[in-house]
């Protein structure tokens, strides 16, 4: 997988050991952790073990997202299955000033483009807590379609909340992306 990819004014660079403490601090912040399937506090040792587990694991990839020369968040593809053409994307943006504007679309678009265009995947899928209404709206604007009713999250997470399951097909994504991407000027 590529260590560097750039589109929409965003660059994604493979997560390195030198990024770990920054990423761990972001991930442990309450405004980020509240939306994670696993909301446990992550220690430095836990982070190192997790990072070491990424080595030679072709089913997971993590990048730091950069915007205007500044690291702003993390994007990932997990449960990558090349034979089935599927993966589960994830992202979070830490600095508040980049959360409620077009920048999250830029970050999501670069990740989705990478998944569809570079890896040749055909379907992305995700899980969103029902109380994360902003994420639900965001995913739907990006072309995701809900594929089932609400399911309790305790089957997959340490959080007793309801989850919505979504999927994104390449054609739906491009139809949703193109009208929004016209406004990206980075």
Return d(Cα 12, Cα 10) in angstroms, integer: 7
Least reliable range by pLDDT among 31-35, 118-122, 150-154? 150-154
* CATH numbers and ranges of domains, the chain: 4-181 (3.40.630.30)
Q: What's the confidence (pLDDT) of residue 154?
A: 47
Q: What's the confidence (pLDDT) of residue 33?
A: 83
Return d(Cα 171, Cα 40) in angstroms, integer: 36
Average pLDDT of the chain is: 91
Q: What's the confidence (pLDDT) of residue 151?
A: 54
Percentage above 90 pLDDT, the chain: 77
Say yes or no to pLDDT of 153 above 80: no
Say yes or no to pLDDT of 62 above 90: yes
With CA atoms as reference, report the closest residue to 80 among 42, 114, 33, 37: 114
Say yes or no to pLDDT of 160 above 90: no
With CA atoms as reference, report the closest residue to 177 among 77, 102, 125: 102
Return d(Cα 14, Cα 124) in angstroms, integer: 20
Which SS3 state, helix, strand or coil, does residue 162 take?
strand
Alpha helices in the chain (DSSP H): 20-28, 30-33, 44-54, 103-113, 133-141, 170-181
- Confidence band (pLDDT; 50, 70, 90) for 150? low
Say yes or no to pLDDT of 155 above 60: no
Q: Are 101 and 123 in contact (CB under 8 A)?
A: no
Determine if the pTM surpasses 0.85: yes
Percentage above 70 pLDDT, the chain: 94
Say yes or no to pLDDT of 17 above 80: yes
Residues 6+ apart with CB under 8 A from 104: 91, 93, 98, 138
Q: Are 127 and 136 in contact (CB under 8 A)?
A: no
Q: Which residue has the higher pLDDT, 46 or 131?
A: 46
- Confidence band (pLDDT; 50, 70, 90) for 67? very high
């Amino acid at each position: 997988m590529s260590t560097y990819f750039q589109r929409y004014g965003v660059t994604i660079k493979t997560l390195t050991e030198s990024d770990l403490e920054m990423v761990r601090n972001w991930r442990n912040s309450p405004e980020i952790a509240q939306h994670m399937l696993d909301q446990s506090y992550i220690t430095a040792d836990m982070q190192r073990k997790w990072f070491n587990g990424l080595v030679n694991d072709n089913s997971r990839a993590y990048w730091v997202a950069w915007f205007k020369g500044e690291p702003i968040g993390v994007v990932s593809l997990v449960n990558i299955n090349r034979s089935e053409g599927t993966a589960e994307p994830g992202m979070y943006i830490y600095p508040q000033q980049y959360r409620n504007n077009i920048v999250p679309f830029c970050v999501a678009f670069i990740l989705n483009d990478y998944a569809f265009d570079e890896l040749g995947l055909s379907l992305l899928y995700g899980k969103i807590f029902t109380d994360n209404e902003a994420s639900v709206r965001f995913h739907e604007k990006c072309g995701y379609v809900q594929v089932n009713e609400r399911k309790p999250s305790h089957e997959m997470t340490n959080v007793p909340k309801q989850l919505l399951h979504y999927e994104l097909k390449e054609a739906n994504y491009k139809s949703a992306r193109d009208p929004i991407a016209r406004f990206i000027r980075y």
